[in-house]
């Protein structure tokens, strides 16, 4: 039950996309010996690209929002959807519902935590909202958050402030940055005797900044403060395990860099803290110690969960370290080739310690939305414009375009992006 590959082999005859996984094994039987920096566009990464149904006409460079699933996962999703529709209540509740446990175990291996500390949910918003609304905070308790947190998380904390009187204290690091001490101090300096928790975004979605989570977490724990990490953009992208961060609570989306079917998330709670955390939706044992109390969602898509195993299999075939190096190298590839364009500016560090997949740029005198729209209209390059109002004490608002490749992205596609930016 814990061996996902055994599960895959049982359905191999029905899932033609799995042949692409087998091709990858056959072409590179000793993947562990393949250097992480292997960059031949005609070999290993061509095989990886073939595992995805990438559009031949549109270049998708917004993988930071949501990534496509590999062909095997899409075929699995179709297979299980058809199975469930033959007799929904039987196949959903008596068959597929039981297979969440081996999936949980396999995700736990990648996350580096016990499987009974992981809850499978629908996205990072649900995972983090469950934690934010489930913490037993009271009026006057302080929570340190950041001006760079994701909007859904900011809104959740604002709701707790309105409803329960929790006081939000804002850290405002100067980003982008390569100064770990300064970034950490932006949070640590906001700690007081009333601080109960610090909320840290591992990778900032606005500009791709990697924050020094462990440094902040260690300082927080030294003061008896708990730590919640938003890992929506870091899981299955950066080569780490959850314990490396020193967090108490953690949440992510699986439909970003794990490339699972859309509507997949994962939530982690340290074992001894599960009982005190209230579930977001009702459960018969709301103060129980079973992580599954957070999964009482009613009817849900079991095919989406089951197909996630195939995305996880491809990720493991590639390897976390190799994947992180590949995607950072793709980001550096296009940024290096346009850095001399007149008027261009970047809001992302080129250092792999402080950024990975996400790279953002702007052009003086141009609105980000206009740049993004022109990239698509003339070159069919899909990006996303990041525009936000200026924060207090900040001279200029956010006005840049976010570019996010993934493992299936080719340098030829990035060459087209470089050409487009130069012509802009």
**Model pLDDT, residue 23:** 58
Of 96-105, 215-224, 263-272, minimum mean pLDDT range: 96-105
Instruction: Clarify whether residues 262 and 353 are in a common domain.
Output: no
Buried b (16+ CB within 10 A) or exposed e, 176-189: bbeebeebbbbbbe
Q: Which long-range contacts (CB under 8 A, 24 or more apart) does 326-330 make?
A: 326/36, 326/39, 326/45, 326/407, 327/237, 327/257, 327/356, 327/357, 327/405, 327/406, 327/407, 328/352, 328/355, 328/356, 328/357, 329/37, 329/39, 330/357, 330/405, 330/409, 330/411, 330/414
Mean pLDDT of the chain: 90
- Residues present in the chain in total: 424
Partners of residue 400 on adjacent β-strands: 386
Tokens representing residue 317 in the block = 């075939």
Q: Is the per-residue pLDDT at 238 higher than 70? A: yes
Is the domain of 108 the same as that of 204?
A: yes
pLDDT at 360 over 90: yes
DSSP summary character for residue 119: E
Strand order from edge to edge, sheet including 226-230: 118-121, 265-269, 249-253, 226-230, 195-201, 142-146, 167-171
Q: Between 238 and 3, where is the model more confident? A: 238
- Same domain? For 278 and 393 the reply is no
Report the C-alpha gap between 41 and 59 in whole angstroms: 17
Digit-coded pLDDT (tens) for 40-57: 555 788 889 989 998 889
Which residue matches tokens 């996205």?
Answer: 123
pLDDT of residue 304: 92
8 pLDDT band, cuts 50/70/90, is: very low
Answer whether residue 79 is part of any domain: no
In sequence order, which ranges of 135-250 are alpha helices (DSSP H)?
151-164, 180-188, 213-222
Asked whether residue 334 falls in the same domain as residue 249, the answer is no
Give the pLDDT confidence of 263-299 residue by residue, as tens digits: 999 999 999 999 999 999 989 899 999 999 999 988 8
SS3 category, 193: coil
- Report yes or no on 172 lying in a domain: yes
Quick: pLDDT tens for 107-144.
999 999 999 999 999 999 999 999 999 999 999 999 99
Same-domain pairing of 149 and 248? yes
Looking at the structure, tell me whether residues 268 and 123 fall in a common domain: yes
23 domain residue, yes or no: no
Into how many domains does the chain fold?
2
Q: Are residues 276 and 338 in the same domain?
A: no
* 54 domain residue, yes or no: no
CATH classification of the domain holding 404: 3.90.1150.10
**Among 275, 309, 343, residue at a domain's last position:** 309
**Which CATH number goes with the domain that contains 169?**
3.40.640.10
Residue whose C-alpha is closest to residue 331's, from 148, 199, 207, 212? 207
Regarding whether 208 and 146 lie in a shared domain, the answer is: yes
Q: Domain containing 209: what range?
A: 96-309
What secondary structure letter does DSSP report for 60? E
Residues whose CB is less than 8 angstroms from the CB of residue 74 and which lie 6 or more positions away in sequence, other chains included? 17, 53, 261, 307
pLDDT in tens, 293-333: 999 988 888 899 999 999 999 999 999 999 999 999 999 99
The answer on 249 and 157 residing in a single domain is: yes
Whether 248 and 369 share a structural domain:
no
* 58 band by pLDDT with thresholds 50, 70 and 90: very high
Within-domain flag for 362: yes
Residues 190 and 109 in one domain: yes
Query: What would you report as the CA-atom Rg of the chain, rounded to the nearest whole angstrom?
Result: 22
**Do both 290 and 355 map to the same domain?**
no
Higher local confidence (pLDDT), 27 or 78: 78
């Amino acid at each position: 039950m814990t061996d996902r590959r055994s599960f895959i082999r049982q359905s191999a005859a029905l899932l033609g996309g799995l042949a692409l996984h087998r091709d990858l094994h056959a072409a590179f039987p000793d993947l562990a010996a393949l250097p992480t920096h292997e960059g031949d566009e005609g070999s290993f990464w061509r095989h990886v690209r073939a595992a995805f149904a990438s559009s031949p006409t549109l270049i998708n460079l917004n993988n930071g929002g949501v990534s496509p699933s590999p062909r095997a996962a899409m075929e699995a999703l179709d297979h299980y959807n058809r199975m469930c529709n033959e007799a929904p209540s039987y196949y959903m509740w008596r068959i597929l519902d039981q297979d969440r446990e081996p999936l949980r175990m396999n995700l736990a291996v990648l996350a580096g935590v016990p499987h009974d500390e992981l809850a499978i949910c629908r996205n990072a918003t649900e995972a983090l909202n469950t934690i934010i609304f489930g913490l037993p905070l009271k009026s006057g308790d302080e929570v340190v958050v950041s001006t760079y947190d994701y909007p859904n998380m900011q809104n959740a904390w604002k709701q707790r402030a309105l409803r329960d009187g929790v006081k939000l204290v804002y850290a405002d690091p100067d980003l982008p940055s390569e100064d770990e001490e300064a970034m950490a101090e932006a949070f640590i300096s906001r700690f007081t005797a009333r601080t109960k928790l610090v909320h840290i975004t591992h990778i900032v979605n606005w500009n791709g900044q990697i924050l020094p989570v462990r440094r902040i977490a260690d300082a927080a724990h030294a003061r008896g403060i708990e730590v919640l990490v938003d890992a929506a953009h870091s899981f299955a992208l950066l080569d780490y395990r959850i314990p490396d961060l020193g967090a108490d609570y953690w949440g992510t989306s699986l439909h970003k860099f794990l490339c699972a079917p859309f509507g997949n998330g994962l939530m982690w709670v340290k074992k001894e803290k599960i009982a005190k955390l209230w579930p977001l939706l009702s459960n018969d044992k709301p103060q129980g110690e079973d992580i599954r109390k957070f999964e009482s969602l009613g009817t849900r898509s079991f095919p989406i969960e089951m197909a996630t195993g195939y995305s996880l299999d491809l990720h493991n075939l590639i390897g976390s370290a190799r994947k992180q190096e590949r995607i950072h190298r793709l980001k550096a590839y296009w940024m290096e080739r346009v850095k001399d364009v007149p008027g261009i500016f970047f809001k992302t560090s080129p250092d792999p310690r402080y950024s990975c997949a996400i790279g953002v740029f702007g052009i003086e005198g141009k609105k980000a939305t206009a740049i993004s729209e022109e990239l698509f209209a003339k070159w069919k390059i899909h990006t996303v414009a990041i525009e936000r109002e200026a924060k207090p004490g900040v001279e200029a608002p956010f006005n840049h375009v976010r570019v996010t490749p993934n493992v299936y992205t080719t340098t030829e596609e990035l060459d087209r992006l470089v050409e487009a930016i130069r012509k802009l």
